[in-house]
Amino acid sequence: MTGIKDVAREVEMSTATVSRALRGLPGVTEETRAIVLEAALRLGYAPSPTAVRLASGQTRTVAVVVPYVTRWFFSSVVHGAEEVLSGRDYDLLLYNLAGSTAARHRVFDTDLLTKRVDAVLVLSLRPTTDELARLDRLARPVTFVGADVPGWATVRIDDRAAARSAIQHLIDLGHQRVAYVGGATEGVLDFSAPADRLSGFRDTLLDAGLTPDPTLERDGSFTIAGGTAAGRSLLDRPDRPTAVFAASDEMAFGVLRAARDLGLRVPEDLSVVGVDDHELADFFDLTTVAQPVQEQGRVAAQQVLAALGAKASGENWQPRQVILETRLVGRGTTGPPPGRRA
Amino acid sequence: MTGIKDVAREVEMSTATVSRALRGLPGVTEETRAIVLEAALRLGYAPSPTAVRLASGQTRTVAVVVPYVTRWFFSSVVHGAEEVLSGRDYDLLLYNLAGSTAARHRVFDTDLLTKRVDAVLVLSLRPTTDELARLDRLARPVTFVGADVPGWATVRIDDRAAARSAIQHLIDLGHQRVAYVGGATEGVLDFSAPADRLSGFRDTLLDAGLTPDPTLERDGSFTIAGGTAAGRSLLDRPDRPTAVFAASDEMAFGVLRAARDLGLRVPEDLSVVGVDDHELADFFDLTTVAQPVQEQGRVAAQQVLAALGAKASGENWQPRQVILETRLVGRGTTGPPPGRRA
DNA sequence: GTGAAAGCGCTAACAA
DNA sequence: TTGTTAGCGCTTTCAC
């Protein structure tokens, strides 16, 4: 392994000069720089990230904590974050909780992250007070994606508004009995979006003079299978709803399946709306509230890098709450309710 | 930030003793160790990974190179790898190529990985000779997942056999006109599986006395949309095949959609088989050749860790080719061909 | 513009 | 069993 000393020896200069020349710092003749660059290239020199980190005090590494890597939403956010981090020569350290409390504990309640990374991205989780305290002690920029964490930097959508636009769409079509399929509003992996989408759902109905029916609210645990089960229990009854709002596309897919299994036609007998604009939404011709997913990862990464930059140049930096726009994508799973068709 | 010196000062011992005590090395009185542990805990000491790495010469980091993180197969492999790596206190550095040649070049043809990681996991890519040469120069354990790379450590399935079992299943049902939907056997992101699955398809037909029809082979680019397009061109003709073998479940989903769009009943008019046992395969009731995906990530991670262990203890270690079992999962998308029903 | 020397925060020989 | 002393491979003052 050739090190900076080898290069210095080769060009008969000090390692200080070689270091400066290689990093493009000022105070080096162009001639000197050229000589150094040539020698470094010739010797196949590559600096040791570890040594650079120890000497510079920066890890140039960002931790990304993900509830479940295998879910489309999370892997898409990771994709976005990786894109900007690798572009700025930062390493992305992946921590996949895989839904495990033990893993969550290990990441947040031990010294795992301490001195290991310059910044942290946390996806969708709603941190506990203790976790926030520990993250605070890290004294590093932290950004939450897809969760509302007051006082901290966040990048997300307005979940209430997203639900609202979906419900309003159904109301405009003439639906009066609208069901909700969501996820636990608390639990092992506590997310912040479900509660907001649920209240957006209820409020919009109320605003339209409709009364939310508690018996039309189901837990679909944000999975396809959960959506199918919820859909079945919702639709297999005489007074079934004419429309279902699922708080995620995956649950909406499940509802579509339940409808199909029960012989219901969509949208003639039942309308379905989701949230996400999942890569399969088009495939299922699902009407949904689209949210920019990769973009949230990108923006979050840019945010922590900006914070790091500000820190380095001594500026003071305030955590920002970024809210990205959603938009209703009308497709084939929504239409007027039965008996109200043109 | 409290460092090892602070702990040493606190207990009035040398940093060497503190280091030994904290790491559980032999040659330290239990009493001493207890004192040190207590002080470290009380002072909130956590070692600096960077310093440990520089001093020990090990990064305790494994790079995982992924063609597309957002695809189910890859994120599942990452999941498996992360599980074992985090369990052994290794960091997982994620590199997502996102299908970009530039990204691939950056990872393999620059000094990016040099001195940065102890081992590398490469998913599905078929490396070029140049890339192999560079990986070789890293002098670090490298394991390829889902690709056949002669002479290197690999973890994969027998792609020819997987295709064979799917085709044999169709033949046993009585199918004679079987189509193939696969992916480019070369290209920007060069994978090794497609070619093997294609030849497994052809060979099995030949072995059964059937002649593979080149006009029944399509490129579905391993995506749902590609599968839909391929399916449409395959099925929208009078002499359409009675069965389609898709080299991945996602393409099979696309074929199912094409069939549905064309008004074909499955499996009455058309049988479809995929490969993977994707999380949605059950949802689509798709007959498929299941492969252990997370497991491949797990085994690959275990492999590089074993290699690292062998290296550390001076044993010599030979790259192994691990082949994991596949099995046909019969579901509802396959049945006897039209006109041959019981 | 360049070099000498002192760290960065640990580990690891080698002594004691 | 414990301490002393060198590093690990860079960056960064501070001189010159």
Q: A314-336 pLDDT, tens per residue?
A: 888 899 999 999 999 999 999 99
B141: cis peptide before it, omega within 30°?
A: no
- Residues of chain B contacting A, Cβ within 8 Å: 1, 46-51, 53-54, 59, 64, 69-70, 72, 75-76, 78-79, 82-83, 86, 91-96, 98, 103, 106, 111, 114-116, 224-225, 228, 253-254, 257, 279-280, 283
User: Which helix or strand (DSSP H or E) is residue A40 part of?
Assistant: helix A30-43
A267: cis peptide before it, omega within 30°?
A: yes
Which domains are seen in chain B, by residue range?
Answer: 4-47 (1.10.260.40), 61-157+293-325 (3.40.50.2300), 159-291 (3.40.50.2300)
Is the Cβ pair B91, A253 closer than 8 Å?
Answer: no
Percent of chain A with pLDDT over 90: 92
User: Higher-confidence residue: A340 or A193?
Assistant: A193
Strand C contact at CB of residue B48, distance < 7 A: yes
Q: What is the pLDDT of residue A187?
A: 66
Which residue is associated with the tokens 């520089």?
B54
Strand C contact at CB of residue B102, distance < 7 A: no
How far CA A66 is from CA of A47, A125, A191, A233, in Å, comes to 31, 8, 12, 31
Q: What is the pLDDT along chain B (342 residues), one digit of tens a residue?
A: 899 999 999 999 999 999 999 999 998 999 999 999 999 999 999 999 999 999 999 999 999 999 999 999 999 999 999 999 999 999 999 999 999 999 999 999 999 999 999 999 999 999 999 999 999 999 999 999 999 999 999 999 999 999 999 999 999 999 999 999 998 766 667 788 889 999 999 999 999 999 999 999 999 999 999 999 999 999 999 999 999 999 999 999 999 999 999 999 999 999 999 999 999 999 999 999 999 999 999 999 999 999 999 988 888 889 999 999 999 999 999 999 997 654
Q: What is the pLDDT of residue A98?
A: 95
Mean pLDDT of chain A: 95
Sign of the CA dihedral A155, A170, A183, A228? negative
Q: What is the pLDDT of residue A314?
A: 81
- Nearest-angstrom CA–CA distance, B119 and A146: 33
**What DSSP state is assigned to residue B136?**
H
- A273 φ/ψ sector (left φ>0, alpha ψ -120 to 50, else beta): beta
Q: Which among B49, B64, B78 has the least Cβ separation from residue A115?
A: B49
Nearest CA in chain A to B254: A283
- Nearest-angstrom CA–CA distance, A167 and A158: 14
**How do B119-123 and B61-66 pair as beta strands?**
parallel
What's the pLDDT band for A340 if we cut at 50, 70, 90? low
φ, ψ (nearest 5 deg) of residue A154: -140, 155
Task: List chain A residues with CB under 8 Å of B91.
Answer: 93, 116
In one letter, which amino acid is B54? L
CB B266 within 8 A of CB B272: yes
CB proximity list for B79: less than 8 A, separation 6 or greater:
A69, A70, A96, A98, B294, B297
- Nearest-angstrom CA–CA distance, B202 and A274: 42
Nucleotide nearest B3, CA–C1', reads: C9
User: How is residue B60 written in tokens?
Assistant: 């305790």
User: How is residue A45 written in tokens?
Assistant: 């020199």
**What DSSP state is assigned to residue A93?**
E
Radius of gyration of chain B (CA): 26
How far CA A244 is from CA of A140, B58, B324, in Å, comes to 42, 54, 42
Nearest CA in chain A to B98: A79
pLDDT for residue A341 is more than 60: no
User: How is residue B276 written in tokens?
Assistant: 């993977």
Task: Name residues 18-47 of chain A with a Cβ under 7 Å from nucleic strand C.
Answer: 20, 26-29, 31-32
Q: A248-307 pLDDT, tens per residue?
A: 999 999 999 999 999 999 999 999 999 999 989 999 999 999 999 999 999 999 999 999
Nucleotide nearest B28, CA–C1', reads: D1
In this prediction the pTM is: 0.96
- Continuous H helices in A109-248: 129-138, 159-173, 193-207, 224-235
Q: A71-117 pLDDT, tens per residue?
A: 999 999 999 999 999 999 999 999 999 999 999 999 999 999 999 99
Is the Cβ pair A96, B111 closer than 8 Å?
Answer: no
pLDDT for residue A52 is more than 90: yes
For residues A33, A39, A45, A46, the Cα torsion angle rounded to the nearest 10 degrees is 20
Q: What is the pLDDT of residue A188?
A: 63
Q: What is the pLDDT of residue B127?
A: 95
Which residue is associated with the tokens 């949210």?
A291
pLDDT for residue A120 is more than 80: yes
Query: Can you tell me whether residue B147 is helix, strand or coil?
Result: coil
Closest-CA residue to B71 (of B296, B341, B239, B278): B278
DSSP string, B217-237: EEE-TTSHHHHHHHHHHHHSS
pLDDT for residue A240 is more than 70: yes
Q: B298-307 pLDDT, tens per residue?
A: 999 999 999 9
What's the pLDDT band for A190 if we cut at 50, 70, 90? confident
Closest-CA residue to A131 (of A177, A190, A186): A190
CB proximity list for B18: less than 8 A, separation 6 or greater:
B4, B7, B8, B11, B36, B40
